[in-house]
Amino acid sequence: MAMLPDRIADVEALEALMSTPSPALIETLARVEGDLMVLGVGGKMGPTLARMAKQAGPGRRVIGVARFSEPGLREKLEAHGIECIAADLLSRKALQQLPEAPNIVFMAGRKFGSAGSEWLTWAMNAWLPGLVAERFSRSRIVAFSTACVYPFVNVHGPGAPEETPPTPPGEYANSCVARERLFEHFSHLHGTAGRLIRLSYAIDMRYGVLHDLAQKLQAGEVIDLGMGHANVIWQGDANDWALRALAHCDTPTTPLNLSGPAISIRHAAQGLADRLGVPARFTGQEAATAWLIDCSRAFALFGQPQVSLERMLDWTADWVRRGQPSLNKPTHFEARDGKY
């Protein structure tokens, strides 16, 4: 990656930075032939991932599929050379009408506000993966999952490795186990190559664990330490690694933990408070367990994240201090009951 900036000026600079491919990604995708289609391109990560894929190989056809309910998103993606198709992915007819693509990145899913309409959460997280896996059985599929499929593990250990049985708390997380199992089923049935990306907390200036902490500190709120540790990764690194996973697909598909090293919430909050010039006030004590993952396999494949925690703290504090935009979607990282 080019030299990292000391600060991120605005949303345009932020999205450009999160869309910049590493030399390793450019080299890796050169070995992965064929069109690339992002299903669920309209989410928090989809637009920058699609832009990064296009930048990494400008001659490649990159297709983004979503409902495009957010005004202006389609036009913005098209301006970056991404072909956009508006579709309701839960419609079998709409899925059938999508073009063939040898490379699929599956990013559709549902988390926020899932309490109260659990039926839709299960449709999106369990039924849809089956439809997609059936429709694109001849493609390689990198599917976004979540570290929430794991149970809590000891904070003094290395985190949950990929072999850990997925027995998480809460209905949302169990719908995500179903997503993985459906992709696995069709991968076994059809010999579909893939990877299941168990992502933990991508960091965007407008969203994420660090953004949540900075906003609370800026507002003078108390920080709950119950969930005292988390794995976080810069969204640009997460995009880069997920795309590089297209060159590391298994048949049948297998999970891959994807995040950065574990962080202490107390340490991160104190670092942000110092940068913001506000006091850090805490409540509760760090629990002996947390949702932590062992990312040693990802590190072996891709190296260490390019953006360090300290750099992310610098950027986040500066962003929040200047009143730059927020997506207003708290991660609820502090929740220990599985309810979002």
Instruction: Give percent above pLDDT 90 in the chain.
Output: 93
pLDDT at 29 (0 to 100):
97
Three-class DSSP category at 307: coil
Record the pTM: 0.97
Say if 328 falls within a structural domain. no
Indicate whether 257 pLDDT > 60: yes
Tell me the mean pLDDT in the region 303-326: 98
**Strand ranges across the sheet with 140-146:** 83-86, 62-66, 36-39, 103-106, 140-146, 194-199, 254-258
Total number of domains in the chain: 1
Q: Read off φ and ψ for residue 326, nearest 5 degrees.
A: -125, 150
Say if 3 falls within a structural domain. no
Say if 329 falls within a structural domain. no
State how far the Cα of 67 lies from the Cα of 214, in Å rounded to an integer. Answer: 32
167-220 residue pLDDT tens: 998 899 999 999 999 999 999 999 999 999 999 999 999 999 999 999 999 999
Domain that holds residue 192: 11-321
pLDDT at 227 (0 to 100):
96
pLDDT at 113 (0 to 100):
60
Say if 100 falls within a structural domain. yes
Tell me the mean pLDDT in the region 260-279: 98
13-22 residue pLDDT tens: 999 999 999 9
Under the banding of pLDDT at 50, 70 and 90, the label for residue 114 is: low
pLDDT at 3 (0 to 100):
86
Say if 326 falls within a structural domain. no
Structure tokens at 11: 């949303």
Under the banding of pLDDT at 50, 70 and 90, the label for residue 112 is: low
What is the helix (H) or strand (E) element at residue 179, kind and residue range?
helix 171-190
Say if 282 falls within a structural domain. yes
Say if 184 falls within a structural domain. yes
Using a 10 angstrom Cβ sphere, with 0-12 exposed, 13-18 middle and 19 or more buried, the burial of residue 194 is buried
Query: Which whole-number Å values give the CA distances from 190 to 2, 90, 93, 132, in the listed order?
Result: 41, 21, 21, 13
Q: Read off φ and ψ for residue 243, nearest 5 degrees.
A: -70, -40
Tell me the mean pLDDT in the region 54-68: 98
What is the helix (H) or strand (E) element at residue 316, kind and residue range?
helix 309-321
Structure tokens at 226: 């119950």
CATH number at residue 302: 3.40.50.720
Provide the mean pLDDT of the chain: 96
Non-local (6+) Cβ contacts of 267 within 8 A are none
Say if 6 falls within a structural domain. no
